[in-house]
Amino acid sequence: MRFAKPFRRVAAALAGSLLIVACSQADDQTGTAGVHAAETAAGSLDELMAAGKGIYEANCGACHQPNGKGLSGAFPPLAESDYLLRDREDVLAVALLGLSGPITVNDQEYNGVMPSMAHLKDEDLAAALTYVFNSWGNSLAAVTPAEVTALRDKLGQQDRARGEPHTGATESELRYSGAPLTIPGEEPRQPQDAGPVLSEEEFAAATQLYFERCAGCHGVLRKGATGKPLTPDITRERGTEYLKALITYGSPAGMPNWGTSGELSPEQVDVMARFLQQEPPSPPEFGLDDMKATWKVIVAPEDRPERPQHKRDIENFFSVTLRDSGQVAIIDGDTKEIVSVLKTGYAVHISRLSASSRYVYTIGRDAKVDMIDLWMDPPRIVAELKVGLEARSVETSKYKGYEDKYAIAGAYWPPQYVIMDGDTLEPIKVVSTRGMTVDTQEYHPEPRVAAIVASHENPEFIVNVKETGHILLVDYSDIDNLTVTDIGAARFLHDGGWDRSKRYFLTAANQSDKIAVVDSRERELVALIDVDKIPHPGRGANIDDPEFGPVWVTSALGNDKVTFLGTDPEGHPDHAWKVVRVLHGQGGGSLFVKSHPTSKNLWVDSPLNPEEAISQSVAVFDIENLDAGYEVLPIAEWADLGPGPKRVVQPEFNKAGDEVWFSVWSGQEEESAIVVVDDKTRKLKHVIKGPEVITPTGKFNVYNTVEDVY
């Protein structure tokens, strides 16, 4: 179904914000906190309003916005909405039945599909509608649960599950349904127990698309993490049209607009909407023997050059992910020349550098690790290894005496990490991360390995276990007798980085809306700091705040907040490990913030915001005058590209700290670019583009990555 142009993302007159995966995240992972928040509402206006606010924010706020004003050309407003003044029963019926076809809200026409919200409990829907009816200039009579019940009966919805959306299930059963099947080599199969039918070809295509676009946020088993759970008990209640609208238009809270950006065709959107209503296929395990079968030493250590074969400044090289081509480009930061384009794992997530600056270690989402020798002319892959079916993290040892001795890779599936020989990638030790959650201490079948950093204080890798909330200090001084210190933090650990001293590791537990701080010297948790909403710092940014001293900065997926945390317990003890400042950027959907010791700027991207003006530009703050707000730079416009989504992502500094590089990320068949900006003047300096620059995303400067300069 195509929507009329004025109705570009979602037609929703009431509660249709479409938040299964949209990262609104005011509720818990199952959505039950928001859904059941109204159970205790006694019916008074104050009680209904209090309960309704939470339900609205959990189910509607990301699209219609917390202030009810919606988004121009996207989501109809609820604030001072003349649509709410129509016949009361008709308005309530829209919430229960949905709506398709043309409507007019405050003299603006919309034409699309509003999905039914009948899956909400009667008391919850009553509370949410009451909140809408009496907020932002609206003044209408409260909606009672009895009123919703009576109308539901009149409309023939008596058989709807009005109580539990997952009848008879316990809280733990809602979150986890047990360990997956572990049949080696099992091919994806389509369960035909319920839900819309897919052909075998459609099911196979959707499985690949889900892996490429969705699994990173929602999990291989669809249990949710950064994104909402997508298990069939949830998705079947929403239905195909609901899911199609969400996939097509995304959400301001961080769900990408896969359809309107052109990254998925209408046919692919339809297949994905049906696929999500089927049971997810169970992938096989991947052990040491499986890894060794993929291990290749292409150039043995003794056959590699004894010195650099070129005169370029390796420390100012950039390793650039060419996402959808399954390649990495090595670019000379001085000349802006593409030195080498190498076939790597699919959608390389990060590049990490050896302590010597010689080797780049990359890892793709397909869990393939590649080792690139920068001394060669041109740089070449010298070893490779596949550590699982899906992965995100790789790192090398940095502690004195162990430089480059070991490498480590963390997998999303199977949930495990692998310690490898630093020169050859030979797998040595495989350790599972399956176990109990840090808070409820319930078993989780898919606790994925997120960020890994190398300690400067001890011979240890610091490993984030995403879903269970454990931070592992893996002592590599004796691999045969591996010692692991387990620090309980908060669930849904993701990315993070060092403070300026490189002693404290700050990492986001993004779905828990917290930042955990680990003292790598004393090997303990020193703070668990509340932030919001869905922090996603990358490695974060270290700056000297003119009022609060050294701080570390994170932005967020779920809102426009840029949050400053004090990081100097000795010089500024009153501010240490506290939120000391919150700025407001362009909007939600930010993935990275970045600064540099030589820079007076703080750069903030917003590539996952569905508004083109925001996703195609960046905000930059003057560190010496933070209260002045931000300047918007039109990075995508400077790239001078043709059609495409042109999302601007991941600022990265050059070695000197006087240039900031941005990826302008379009579709695989569309023109992309890397835009270089003068950090001091904030003016365009250079554009790198051409047929080799295909969907660039992450960029990693050699010197800054080796030295952990962030």
Q: What gap in Å lies between CA 257 and CA 445, rounded to an integer?
A: 30
308: cis peptide before it, omega within 30°? Answer: no
Q: Out of 536, 572, 575, 596, pick the active-site residue.
A: 536
Please say whether the beta carbons of 183 and 44 come within 8 A.
Answer: no
Among the listed residues 64, 470, 494, 575, the single catalytic one is 494
Burial class, 156, CB count within 10 angstroms (exposed 0-12 / middle 13-18 / buried 19+): exposed
Give the span between the Cα atoms of 710 and 706, in whole angstroms.
11
655 contacts 315 by C-beta, under 8 angstroms: yes
Is 214 assigned a catalytic role?
Answer: yes
Structure tokens at 124: 């919850």
Count CA atoms within 13 Å of residue 214 on its CB side: 31
* Three-class SS state of 613: helix
CB 293: neighbour CB atoms within 10 A?
8
Of 49, 63, 117, 217, which residue is the catalytic one? 217
Q: What SS3 class is residue 162?
A: coil
Enter the tokens of residue 451. 């960020």
At residue 606, the 3 state secondary structure works out as coil
Nearest to 99 by CA among 5, 162, 6, 14: 14
Contact residues for 87 (Cβ-Cβ < 8 A; gap 6+): none
Place of tokens 């060794």: 292
Q: Does an H or E element contain 200, and which? A: helix 200-213
Distance CA 576, CA 269 (A): 47
> In angstroms, what CA-CA distances link 13 with 22, 31, 78, 96, 625?
18, 22, 7, 12, 41
What is the residue-wise DSSP string for 488-552?
E--SSEEEEEE-TTSSEEEEEEGGGTEEEEEETTTTEEEEEEE--S-B--TT-EEEEETTTEEEE
Q: Is 217 a catalytic residue?
A: yes
Residue type, 483: T
- List, in sequence order, every beta strand (DSSP E) within 60-182: 99-105, 108-114
Which two tokens mark 547?
């009022």
Quick one: residue 77, left, alpha or beta (phi over 0 = left, psi -120 to 50 = alpha)? beta
Is 536 an annotated catalytic residue? yes
User: Residue 356 is encoded by which pair of tokens?
Assistant: 């010597």
Active site residue 166: no
- What is the rounded distance in angstroms from the CA atom of residue 354 to the CA atom of residue 371? 10
Q: Active-site residue among 23, 63, 114, 214?
A: 214
Q: Distance between CA atoms of 119 and 169, rounded to whole angstroms?
A: 16
Q: Which residues pair with 404 in a beta bridge?
A: none
Instruction: List the one residue out of 537, 336, 327, 334 whose CA is nearest residue 453.
Output: 537
Catalytic residue among 119, 218, 572, 575: 218
Catalytic, 584? Answer no
The answer to whether the beta carbons of residues 421 and 334 sit under 8 Å apart is no
Inter-residue contact 78 to 132 (CB < 8 Å): yes
Q: Order of strands, edge to edge, in the sheet holding 601-604?
A: 593-594, 601-604, 618-622, 630-633
CB-count exposure of residue 368 (10 Å: 0-12, 13-18, 19+):
buried
Three-state SS across 405-432? CEEEEEEEECCEEEEEECCCCCEEEEEE
Residues marked as catalytic: 214, 217-218, 255, 494, 536
